[in-house]
Structures are given as structure tokens and as C-alpha cells.
Amino acid sequence: MDNILVTGGAGYIGSHIIEQLVKTKARIVIIDNLETGYKKLINKKAIFVKGDIKNLKYLSKIIYKYRINSIIHLAAYLNISEAEKNKKKYYENNVIGTLNLIKCCKSSNIRNFVFSSSCSIYGNVIGPVSEKRKANPKGYYAYTKHESEKIIIKFAKQYNYNYAILRYFNIAGASPTNKIGEINISHGHLFKNIAIQSLKKKPIINIFGNDYKTKDGTCVRDYMHVSDLSIAHIKALKFLREKSKSIILNCGYGKGYSVLEILKIFKKIKKNCKINFVQRRKGDIAAVYSNTKKFEKNIKMRMKFKSINKILQSAIKWEKILKNKK
């Protein structure tokens, strides 16, 4: 029997991955300290354990108890601005937490490790970026992701596990089941903010910087629907089992949209939307979008939500559901 541990499984992306995993025959165990995760996002078909990846002793106990043989590691602090102000907190959780899991791979004979990384490790780039590009993290959050990657790669042969490092681009939207979506507003995600503002009579959107070296001065990002990303994790785990080799993959659609371009689409829904330009966030990069060739070659899947409109509409629909539940 396949026993899969998902760290951060009560969070936004984690809950969507669990939604896909419970369709399989595997036993799914979630570990989450609920600091940024939510009880309401925990899938009842999975086993939930409240715990912290910084606690190696407790982590080892859970992995041993449930005979874990595969790990999907998502648990991390994500706020770019906060990372610059509280580096110790981010290092201990994002880097030491990852190291603890890797130590468990050795002690518990875990063979498959899927890691949630970030395109931010590439730094500022021009044009689509491939996995071969040398990492050049500009902010501290990106630094913690890069350090975690290095730890995973360093110990893979020594501890006899295979890894899939998935470098997320910008993840947005909500499940088509309308049962789960993004709740946390502290991460400053654009689509979450737009969805919140869509329910207001006079929506106001703040854009962090309009003086970047991009086509319209605003940041350019590659947006991917969270449900497509979730399926990519299942496929990555399947790749590790079948191929018995490690891989690093970009997770995006391969097209960059500026913040202003996204807001132009939104203004078709809310014509009275007001836009404010505010100071840049420290740690933000100007532009990054994915070269998807390696992903398409190795991960056979059809992207079901490859549309900015679909992503936006699903985010807004989820926000309406959240509001009605209050």
C-alpha cells in the first residue's frame, strides 16, 4: 500500500492536491500546524495530524507510525515581504523543516520526495526560463527555496531516494468542486485580492510598482490554475515510481501576463475598478515565465484550466462562496 505524507496539506495548494490524491488507492496523511492552514480545508478522507515539520522527533514518529513511503512537501512560509523582515523564522521553517524531512527519508527508507519550490529562485529573467538556468534568487523567500532544493539534491544518492522538484510559477484559482479555494489573504496574491475586490461596490486594486523594465511597467508572471498544478503533483509522483530517477520541472503555462493585463480582463467584469500604484514590495522580481518543454515531455497531462478567464472566474466564484458562509 502506498502511504503518502503531505506537509502543509491544510493549506491552499495542499488541500487541492489532497482532493486529487484521495481519488487514488493510497493512504494519505496530512501534517500541518494550522498556522496558515485551515481546518475547513482538511479532506475528511485523509488522516490529519496536527504537527510542525520543525519538530524532527515528532515528525519521525508520525512517519514511522503510518509507514510513510512517499512525501509531498508543501509546508512553508510564503510571504515575500515578511521573509525580508523575519529571516530567522523563514530559515527555520522553510530550510530546517525541509532538512528534517530529508533526515526522515534516511531513517524510514522513503523512496519518493516531491518538493514545492518556486520560480523565484531564477531571479529576474528575460523571456521564458528553462530548468537549466542557473539559480539567482533575489529575495530571502527565494533564497530559502533554493537552499531547500540544494539539500534535497545533495542527500538524494546518499539516502537513496528520488526527488521531483516542482518550481511553481504563480498559482491561482479554486477547485471546480467549489469546496476548497484560497482563504489566506496575507500572501498578497493578485487573484485573491481581485476576487475580494470583485464583491465590493467600489473595488480598489493596489499594484506594487509601475516602474519595472517590462512592457507596461508592472510585474509579469505566468499564472497556472491550482487544479492543474495539483494533478501535476500526482503525475510527478507517478514519474518517480515508474522511472526511478529524479527530475526538476517548471510548473506554469508558458505565457507571461503583466498585472495591468490581468486587471484589464477584470475591468470587463467590474468596469468601475480603481487602480492605485503603490511602492514595490521588496523581494519582488520584474518578470518570469516558464519554458514548458521539459514538463510537457515528461509529464503527460492535459491542462484543463489554461485560461486567465477560467482562473479569474473560479477565484471570484470561490470568494462568493466564502462570503456566503460567513
Q: Which residues are catalytic?
A: 141
Q: Are 237 and 114 in contact (CB under 8 A)?
A: yes
User: Taking the CB of residue 52, how many other CB atoms lie within 10 A of it?
Assistant: 18
For CA atoms 75, 82, 153, 295, give the dihedral sign. Answer: positive
**Rounded to an integer, what distance in angstroms lies between the CA atom of residue 236 and that of residue 137?**
24
The length of the chain is 326
287 phi and psi, to 5 degrees? Answer: -155, 140
Q: Residues 90-122, buried b or exposed e (16+ Cβ, 10 A)?
A: bbebbbbbbbbbbebbeebebebbbbbbbbbbb
State how far the alpha carbon of 150 is from the alpha carbons of 28, 71, 143, 236, 326, in Å. 27, 17, 11, 19, 43
Cell 518578470: give the residue.
287
Residue 151 backbone zone (phi > 0: left; psi -120 to 50: alpha; other: beta): alpha
Question: Could you write out the DSSP letters of every residue in 143-190?
Answer: HHHHHHHHHHHHHHHHHT-EEEEEEE-EEE---TTSS------TT--H
Write out the E strands in the chain.
Answer: 3-7, 27-32, 47-50, 70-73, 112-118, 128-129, 162-168, 170-172, 204-208, 220-221, 223-225, 247-251, 257-258, 274-278, 287-290
**DSSP designation for 43:** -
Q: Is 82 helix (H, G, I), strand (E, B) or coil?
A: helix
